[in-house]
Amino acid sequence: MTGTTRRNVLGLMVAAGASTLSTPYILQARAQSAPEKMRLRLDFLATIPHVYFFAAREKGFFAEEGLDVEILEGNTSAQSIQQVVNKDDDFGVAGFDALVQGTQEGLPAKMVMCNFRSTPNVVLSLESSGIETPADLGGKIIGVRAGSGPTTMFPALMARNDVDASKVSQLNLDFSAFIPSLLAKRIGGFVGFAPTQYPVLANLAKEPVKSLYYSQFGVVALSMGVVAHPDTISGKPKQVAGFVRAVQRGMKWTGENRAEAEQMLVGLYPRTIKPEEARIGLELLPKFERSARTQDAALGWIDEADAADTIALMKEYASLKIAREPSTYYTNEFIDSSIK
């Protein structure tokens, strides 16, 4: 390069605001300012309980943390965890029970925040069924789904309330058959996940819907949260902290802006989320965001005793053979304590 050519190039750089930085430094600065692309795998098709993640994306909270997060629908908590373990996705939405079970099987993953610190497991019924307490389940036919979390913990609900489980007839049904079977009164109730199923049932039923929450009758357990691979946690702590903080903000925003959150969900998924269902579901979410022990704690923060209680339940009712220390399964290091 001749001296004249070099002077012309430098002149163009200065005119463009590049000062005298060399091209590699300019490219590096641009790369540092570009958002980090990350992937979040849901535990199911997008639905009301996932509103926090969509709020974090749609309201720009991820972007403010320098993140460009792709939200992908999933199938089960187990699949979501496996995607994280395979490093196909950076984060996964999963139940704490599924995480503990997966860790027993040697899968490396850890929960970095818990969105539902009080289990949404529930027995749903119609008012005419007369189910108000666990004792009322005796003599009823209750729909269950083999292998699901609510079904696995149903015996715990019975035992905690001194109900003879043999007096309850359990009918194994496909997930999609629960609500039609109840509306047709072929069953007296079914075990389910309240924020997903209650809104649909309440919108369809011609009489009031009764909710018998496990948490109100002695079953203390952590539920839905975000998991990550240990390598992501140690290798990208800034990004993990930013992701967690953005979702915390998404939770807080949702609680303070339910009408707008409803419009957001329906706008994103008009074919699968109805406005009335979104409204009902969003009203339910605060019931599950905090446990009795975390009323004053930051959103997403996990209490060790809650984790220990969940593990104890799994040992007794879910055939958990390897039970490690509670802190093995989660970390609170990325929680922003100011977001409550």
The angle formed by the CA atoms of residues 9, 15 and 19, to the nearest 5 degrees, is 80
Average pLDDT of the chain is 91
Report residue 129's pLDDT band, with 50, 70 and 90 as the boundaries: very high
Residue-by-residue DSSP string for 280-296: HHHHHTHHHH--GGGTT
Give pTM, 2 decimals. 0.88
Q: What is the pLDDT of residues 4-62, one digit of tens each?
A: 333 343 333 333 333 333 444 333 433 457 899 999 999 999 999 999 999 999 999 99
- Non-local CB neighbours of 85 within 8 Å, separated by 6+ positions: 102, 107, 108, 109, 229
Q: What is the pLDDT of residues 65-75, one digit of tens each?
A: 999 999 999 99
Q: Which of 10-14, 91-95, 173-177 has the lowest mean pLDDT?
A: 10-14
Q: Which of 179-188, 314-323, 324-333 has the lowest mean pLDDT?
A: 314-323
Q: Look at residue 27 in the predicted model and tell me its pLDDT.
A: 36
- Going by CATH, does the domain composed of 121-217 fall within 3.40.190.10? yes
Q: What is the pLDDT of residues 210-232, one digit of tens each?
A: 999 999 999 999 999 999 999 99
Structure tokens at 155: 């015996």
Q: Look at residue 172 in the predicted model and tell me its pLDDT.
A: 97
Q: Is the pLDDT of residue 252 over 60?
A: yes
Query: Which among 140, 131, 124, 134 has a CA at the least distance from the CA of 186?
Result: 140
Query: Which among 23, 80, 337 has a CA at the least distance from the CA of 227?
Result: 80
Helix, strand, coil distribution of the chain in percent, nearest 5? 50, 15, 35
Distances (CA, A) of 102 to 77, 87, 171, 194: 10, 15, 27, 24
CATH of domain 34-118+222-328: 3.40.190.10
How many of the other CB atoms lie within 10 Å of CB of 147?
A: 10
CA–CA gap between residue 297 and residue 340 (Å, rounded): 7
Q: Look at residue 32 in the predicted model and tell me its pLDDT.
A: 55
The domains of the chain are located at 34-118+222-328, 121-217
Q: Is the pLDDT of residue 3 over 70?
A: no
If you compute the radius of gyration of the chain from its CA atoms, what whole number of angstroms results? Answer: 24
Residue-by-residue DSSP string for 163-218: --GGGSEEEE--GGGHHHHHHTTSSSEEEEEHHHHHHHHHHH-SSPEEEEEGGGGT
Q: Is the pLDDT of residue 77 over 70?
A: yes
Q: How many percent of the chain have pLDDT more than 70?
A: 90
Q: Look at residue 147 in the predicted model and tell me its pLDDT.
A: 86
Structure tokens at 100: 């503990």
Q: How many percent of the chain have pLDDT more than 90?
A: 87
- Contact status, residue 169 vs residue 189, Cβ threshold 8 Å: no
Q: Is the pLDDT of residue 310 over 70?
A: yes
How many of the other CB atoms lie within 10 Å of CB of 66?
A: 14
> What mean pLDDT comes out for the span 92-114?
95
- Contact status, residue 232 vs residue 322, Cβ threshold 8 Å: no
